[in-house]
Amino acid sequence: MCGIIGVVSHSPVNQLLYDGLQLLQHRGQDAAGIVTSQGRTFHMHKGSGLARDVFRTRNMRDLLGNMGIAHVRYPTAGSASSSAEAQPFYVNSPFGVVLGHNGNLTNTDALRQELFRQDLRHVNTNSDSEVLLNVLAHELQESTSHHRLDVANIFQAVAGVHRRCRGAYAVVAMIAGYGMLAFRDPYGIRPLVVGKLETEQGPEYMVASESVALDALGFTLLRDVEPGEAIFVDEAGRFYSQQCAQRPLLSPCIFEYVYFARPDSVMNGISVYASRLRMGERLADKIRREFSHLDIDVVIPIPDTSRPSALQLANELGILYREGFIKNRYIGRTFIMPGQAVRKKSVRQKLNAMAVEFKGKNVLLVDDSIVRGTTSRQIVQMAREVGARKVYFASAAPPVRFPNVYGIDMPTRAELLATGRTDEEIRREIGADALIYQDLDALVAAVREGHPDIPRFDTSCFDGDYITGDVTEEYLARLEASRSGVAADPDGAGTRQLDLNLRTA
């Protein structure tokens, strides 16, 4: 998953965007970038690594202007170590456009061919986001009349993007000399919210992947960007919005609620934290129904993400909740690290079990999800090493059996622990004495309770139902072939950076 943010302000935005990236860092740890706009000049700095490592004071000083966009990357296409694929991306025609993308296109190959053959555009990296930018640029060029853009042209171009692109895309872009553009794919798979700040010089607007960025930066959450909708804020701070898709249907990714988003964010009108509490409640229901024979002494979360669910599960069952694992706060999220070797090593560096909570006890460990099983395998073993008598394991999400093609990097079935295995086989694989998975309808109900009007959720990684309709067996096989082994070697991450000063007129 990536994090995107954009702001149109009346004062310099460099610090605001940097702070925003810190708030969205949990969505991507591999690369970071900021572009600001000063008149017709873009200032850009991006590179591999965490935001705090990519930006030094001297880089920040160069990021001049009152409007800007920024991105933190967790790669799903191309490779993790490529600093050339750090975002935002830039094209010089028409006008000069920069773009940051969260999500993943499912027709990248066809678009790449089309861009080259018909639109005469060259895409230089393996990133689907650079393809997306070139489609937008082409559509802007087509919709422009008399060498000047107006808002209607911009919305027409977004409609063109919706016609051509498949997959998931939440986008923030800037058009030099015009303003900031943001839009969401017709299914609203990836999140995007818009907020406002009233100032003496007039209103300022911010869009971001998660509301936590708005809260912390002093903006008030207005609403989610609708699926298929585009928002444009011009340089003077005037706000425009329009539905640009033919048949939008909100189908947000449920994995945002399970794992990705910060608990203090509200997306699609649903508090992520409250949804995780409800996941715990539903899981407790299942334990009462089907696992009442388990003699659980204590419920222990696997920090960080599973904490609210584990807490509520313990409350519901009337069992003690204890923090048995201590997390090293200086180690990032292991699931979004590139390469299995580094993920595996990081679990033990990150989590340490305290014997005092385990010795002689029957413990129920609760995690939000089991994906590759990297965490659960080691955690069960660690609990035994410090003296647990019985180790039960519960997952607040159902088994992850299908690849995610919409922005979460789990593209191959072979790497998913649950693919082709029964619950009993998985239990044996992770070495637990019992394994309890949330049922899919219970997960959906837990999330939907926060906003009952949401028509459906993208649950493809649990049930293989891909809303965009183009994810065939052949597509998955091709993806698996191209992605296996990619991102296995993150060497050099954190070292390469790119600076640009782009004057467009």
Ligand X SMILES: O=P(O)(O)OC[C@H]1O[C@H](OP(=O)(O)OP(=O)(O)O)[C@H](O)[C@@H]1O
Q: Look at residue 66 and give the partner it binds from Mg ion, ligand GLN, ligand X, none, a contact being a CB closer than 5 to 8 Å depending on partner kind.
A: none
Who contacts 325 (Cβ-Cβ below 8 Å, separation ≥6)?
Answer: 300, 301, 302, 303, 351, 352, 353, 354, 379, 382
CA distances (Å), origin 20, targets 27, 59, 86, 170, 192: 12, 16, 17, 16, 14
368 annotated among ligand-binding-site residues: yes
- Binding status of residue 307 toward ligand X by CB under 6 A: no
Kindly tell me which residue out of 95, 183, 259, 273 binds ligand X, with binding defined by CB under 6 A: 259
**Is 2 one of the annotated active-site residues of the chain?**
yes
Who contacts 137 (Cβ-Cβ below 8 Å, separation ≥6)?
Answer: 91, 93, 94, 97, 121
CA distance linking residue 243 with residue 230, whole number of Å:
6
Q: Residue 351 in contact with residue 303, Cβ under 8 Å?
A: yes
- Binding status of residue 305 toward ligand X by CB under 6 A: yes
- Binding status of residue 408 toward ligand X by CB under 6 A: no
- Binding status of residue 210 toward ligand X by CB under 6 A: no
Least Cβ distance, residue 76 to ligand GLN (angstroms): 4
Least Cβ distance, residue 63 to ligand GLN (angstroms): 21
Least Cβ distance, residue 393 to ligand X (angstroms): 11
Residues near Mg ion (CB under 5 A): 305
Residue window 97-116: x/- pattern of binding to ligand GLN, with contact defined by CB under 6 A: ----xxxx------------
A 10 A CB-CB count for 490 gives 18
CB of 302 or CB of 405, closer to Mg ion: 302
List the structure tokens of 304.
């960080």
List the structure tokens of 430.
């992770």
Q: Residue 170 in contact with residue 67, Cβ under 8 Å?
A: no
Least Cβ distance, residue 417 to ligand X (angstroms): 6
Least Cβ distance, residue 102 to ligand GLN (angstroms): 4
465 annotated among ligand-binding-site residues: no
Site for ligand GLN in 36-75 (CB under 6 A): 73-75
- Binding status of residue 299 toward ligand X by CB under 6 A: no
HEC string for 375-393? HHHHHHHHHHHCCCCEEEE
CA distances (Å), origin 237, targets 11, 160, 242, 396: 12, 25, 17, 43
CA-nearest of 403, 346, 339, 349 to 371 is 403
Q: Look at residue 316 and give the partner it binds from ligand X, Mg ion, ligand GLN, none, a contact being a CB closer than 5 to 8 Å depending on partner kind.
A: none
| H or E element in which residue 440 lies | helix 440-448
Q: Look at residue 1 and give the partner it binds from ligand X, ligand GLN, Mg ion, none, a contact being a CB closer than 5 to 8 Å depending on partner kind.
A: ligand GLN
Only segment of 147-155, 281-289, 329-337, 470-478 that touches ligand X (CB under 6 A) = 329-337
Interface residues with ligand GLN (CB under 6 A) are 1-2, 73-78, 85, 101-104, 127-129, 407
Q: Catalogue the active-site residues.
A: 2
